Chain A
Amino acid sequence: GAGVSQSPSNKVTEKGKDVELRCDPISGHTALYWYRQSLGQGLEFLIYFQGNSAPDKSGLPSDRFSAERTGGSVSTLTIQRTQQEDSAVYLCASSYVETQYFGPGTRLLVL
């Protein structure tokens, strides 16, 4: 069946611009997660959704980062006023029980 999909696959933006990253989870998966992978920080958790609510936002690095999920399905991660340190691969995962399945990621480069 279809896996987790993310778009765009690559995004280049200028410092100070806003960006939106999209995640389409596996159908029927109630939980959705965002992670960030960068050279300096490794793989770090950003935010967790159960249905449309976000019980754990503890990993969002600043108030420039926000995310929402609608219809218990698609999620959007928004980064406002991007900074060069936001450059990373943003990974989305979804799960029904214990195992999280990851999408291919969005590679963000902030110039």
Chain B
Amino acid sequence: AQSVAQPEDQVNVAEGNPLTVKCTYSVSGNPYLFWYVQYPNRGLQFLLKYITGDNLVKGSYGFEAEFNKSQTSFHLKKPSALVSDSALYFCAVRGYTDKLIFGTGTRLQVFP
């Protein structure tokens, strides 16, 4: 069965410091991986995706993610966090019939 795990319910980081939000996956075959962000009372906003090619994927708002096949991970990163990055982040893998299977979400809190 395909699944995604986000081991941290919350990540706290000081503004200006680098941030990492962790994601591991389990899938048969080549994974299609996604990160979405959700601000309060809003829908999900697409950040970036890995389909094939370079393991380092760059996305919106300065975010990037590194695909690691041997560790089955797809961690979200940003070199310098902003207070406005505070939100709920979801990792997802594309399942059969293209539906997305989501992790449980990680709340990122950036402190000034």
Contact = CB atoms under 8 A, between A and B. Distances in A.
B42 A104 contact: yes
A43 B38 CA distance: 12
> Dominant SS at the A interface?
strand
Interface string A22-56: 00000000010101000000111100100000011
Given A99-B34, A102-B36, A45 B99 contact: yes
Interface in A60-111: 91, 93, 95, 98-105
B83 interface: no
A63 to B, nearest CB: 20
B42 A48 contact: no
B92 to A, nearest CB: 8
Interface residues of A, number: 23
Interface residues of B, number: 22
A53 to B, nearest CB: 12
A104 B40 CA distance: 11
Nearest to A46: B99
B43 A33 contact: no
A93 B90 CA distance: 15
A56 B99 CA distance: 9
B99 A98 contact: no
Given A55-B97, A102-B44, 16 more contacts: A33-B99, A33-B100, A45-B95, A45-B101, A48-B99, A56-B96, A56-B97, A59-B99, A93-B100, A95-B98, A99-B46, A99-B49, A100-B34, A100-B100, A101-B46, A102-B45
Ranked nearest first, the 4 interchain pairs of A and B with the lowest CB-CB distance are A56-B97, A43-B102, A102-B43, A102-B44
29 contacts: A4-B43, A33-B99, A33-B100, A35-B100, A42-B102, A42-B104, A43-B90, A43-B102, A43-B105, A44-B102, A45-B99, A45-B101, A48-B98, A55-B97, A56-B96, A56-B97, A59-B99, A91-B43, A91-B44, A93-B44, A98-B94, A101-B46, A102-B43, A102-B44, A102-B45, A102-B46, A104-B43, A105-B42, A105-B43
